[in-house]
Chain A
Amino acid sequence: MKRTLSILVENKAGVLSRVSGLFARRGFNIDSLAVGETEDKAVSRMTVVADGDEHTIEQVEKQLNKMIDTLKVKKLEDTASTRRELILVKVTAGTAQRGEVIDIARVFGAKVVDISPTTLTVEHSDRPERIDLLVELLTPYKIKEVARTGTVALEKGCGTIGLKK
Chain B
Amino acid sequence: MMTGAQAVVAGLKKQKIDTVFGYPGVAICPFYDALVSSGIRHVLVRQEQNAGHAASGYARVSGRPAVCVATSGPGATNLITALATAYMDSIPLLALTGQVATDLLGRDVFQEADITGAAEPFTKYSYLVKDPADIPRVLNEAFYIAGSGRPGPVLVDLPIDVLNASFAPKKGDDAPRLPGYSPTVRGHAGQVARVVKAIAQAKRPLVCAGGGVLAAGAQPELRALCESAGLPAVATMMGIGALPTAHPNYYGMLGMYGKPYANYAVHQADLLVIIGARVGDRAVSAPDALARSTSIVHIDVDPAEIGKNMGTTIPLVGDAKTVLGQLLELGVKADCAPWLEQLNAQRAAYRPDFAPRPATLNPRALMRTLSLAMADDGILAADVGQNQAWAAGNILMRTGRFLTSGGMGTMGYAIPAAIGAQLAAPGRQVVAVCGDGAFQMSLCELATAVQSGAGIKIVVVRNHTLGLVLEHQDKCYGGRRIAVELGDLPDLCALAAAYGIPARRISAEGEAGPAVAALLAQPGPALLECLVSPDEVCP
A residues with a Cβ closer than 8 A to B are 9-10, 14, 17-18, 21, 25, 55, 58-59, 62-63, 65-71, 163
Question: How many residues does chain B have at the interface if contact means C-beta atoms less than 8 Å apart?
Answer: 17
Whether B180 pairs with A68 at a CB distance below 8 angstroms is yes
Whether B121 pairs with A21 at a CB distance below 8 angstroms is yes
Nearest-neighbour CB distance to chain B for A56, whole angstroms, equals 11
Q: Which of chain A's residues have a CB closer than 8 A to the CB of B303?
A: 62, 65-66
Q: Is B476 in the interface zone, CB < 8 Å from A?
A: no
- Can you report 21 A-B residue pairs in the complex whose CB atoms are below 8 A from each other? A9-B180, A10-B179, A17-B117, A17-B120, A55-B307, A58-B307, A59-B304, A59-B307, A59-B308, A62-B303, A62-B304, A62-B307, A65-B303, A65-B304, A66-B304, A67-B180, A68-B124, A69-B180, A70-B180, A71-B180, A163-B179
Q: Which of chain A's residues have a CB closer than 8 A to the CB of B128?
A: 14
Q: Is B181 in the interface zone, CB < 8 Å from A?
A: yes
Q: Which of chain B's residues have a CB closer than 8 A to the CB of A58?
A: 307
Given A14-B128, A17-B117, A59-B307, 4 additional A-B pairs, CB 8 A: A10-B179, A62-B308, A65-B304, A66-B302
Q: Which of chain A's residues have a CB closer than 8 A to the CB of B181?
A: 68
Q: Is B145 in the interface zone, CB < 8 Å from A?
A: yes
> Contact check: which of A21, A55, A70 meets B120 at CB < 8 Å?
A21
Residues of chain B from 279 to 310 with CB closer than 8 A to chain A in the complex: 302-304, 307-308
Q: Is B178 in the interface zone, CB < 8 Å from A?
A: yes
CA A62 to CA B305, docked complex, whole Å: 9
Report if A63-B304 is in contact (Cβ < 8 Å); known contacts: A68-B125, A68-B178, A69-B180.
yes
Q: Is B245 in the interface zone, CB < 8 Å from A?
A: no
Nearest-neighbour CB distance to chain A for B308, whole angstroms, equals 6
Nearest-neighbour CB distance to chain A for B194, whole angstroms, equals 20
Q: Which DSSP category, helix, strand, loop or mixed, fits chain B's interface?
A: loop
* Residue of A58, A68, A70 most packed against chain B (CB within 10 A): A68
> Contact check: which of B121, B125, B179, B304 meets A25 at CB < 8 Å?
B121
CA A59 to CA B308, docked complex, whole Å: 7
CA A67 to CA B123, docked complex, whole Å: 11
Nearest-neighbour CB distance to chain A for B127, whole angstroms, equals 9
Q: Which DSSP category, helix, strand, loop or mixed, fits chain A's interface?
A: helix
Q: Is B6 in the interface zone, CB < 8 Å from A?
A: no
> Closest residue to A15 on the B side, CB-wise?
B180
Q: Is B463 in the interface zone, CB < 8 Å from A?
A: no
Encoded as 1 (CB less than 8 Å from any A CB) or 0, chain B from 72 to 83 comes to 000000000000
Nearest-neighbour CB distance to chain A for B288, whole angstroms, equals 11
Q: Which of chain B's residues have a CB closer than 8 A to the CB of A25?
A: 121
Closest 5 interchain pairs by CB?
A62-B304, A71-B180, A68-B125, A68-B181, A66-B304
> Closest residue to A24 on the B side, CB-wise?
B121
CA A59 to CA B303, docked complex, whole Å: 10
> Closest residue to B125 on the A side, CB-wise?
A68
> Closest residue to A64 on the B side, CB-wise?
B304
Q: Is B97 in the interface zone, CB < 8 Å from A?
A: no
Q: Which of chain B's residues have a CB closer than 8 A to the CB of A68?
A: 124-125, 145, 178, 180-181
Nearest-neighbour CB distance to chain A for B282, whole angstroms, equals 20
CA A10 to CA B181, docked complex, whole Å: 11
CA A55 to CA B306, docked complex, whole Å: 11
Q: Is B116 in the interface zone, CB < 8 Å from A?
A: yes
Residues of chain B from 468 to 490 with CB closer than 8 A to chain A in the complex: none
Encoded as 1 (CB less than 8 Å from any A CB) or 0, chain B from 171 to 183 comes to 0000000111100
Nearest-neighbour CB distance to chain B for A55, whole angstroms, equals 7
Q: Which of chain A's residues have a CB closer than 8 A to the CB of B116?
A: 14
CA A9 to CA B180, docked complex, whole Å: 8
CA A163 to CA B125, docked complex, whole Å: 22
CA A55 to CA B291, docked complex, whole Å: 14
> Closest residue to A55 on the B side, CB-wise?
B307
> Closest residue to A8 on the B side, CB-wise?
B180
CA A65 to CA B413, docked complex, whole Å: 31
> Closest residue to B121 on the A side, CB-wise?
A25
> Closest residue to B304 on the A side, CB-wise?
A62
Report if A10-B120 is in contact (Cβ < 8 Å); known contacts: A62-B304, A65-B303, A65-B304.
no
Encoded as 1 (CB less than 8 Å from any A CB) or 0, chain B from 90 to 133 comes to 00000000000000000000000000110011001100100000
> Closest residue to A18 on the B side, CB-wise?
B120
> Contact check: which of A10, A14, A17, A63 meets B180 at CB < 8 Å?
A10
Q: Which of chain A's residues have a CB closer than 8 A to the CB of B307?
A: 55, 58-59, 62
Q: Which of chain B's residues have a CB closer than 8 A to the CB of A10?
A: 179-180
CA A59 to CA B305, docked complex, whole Å: 9
Q: Which of chain B's residues have a CB closer than 8 A to the CB of A69?
A: 180
Q: Which of chain A's residues have a CB closer than 8 A to the CB of B179?
A: 10, 71, 163
CA A26 to CA B125, docked complex, whole Å: 17
Q: Which of chain B's residues have a CB closer than 8 A to the CB of A59?
A: 304, 307-308
CA A32 to CA B486, docked complex, whole Å: 51
Q: Which of chain A's residues have a CB closer than 8 A to the CB of B117?
A: 17
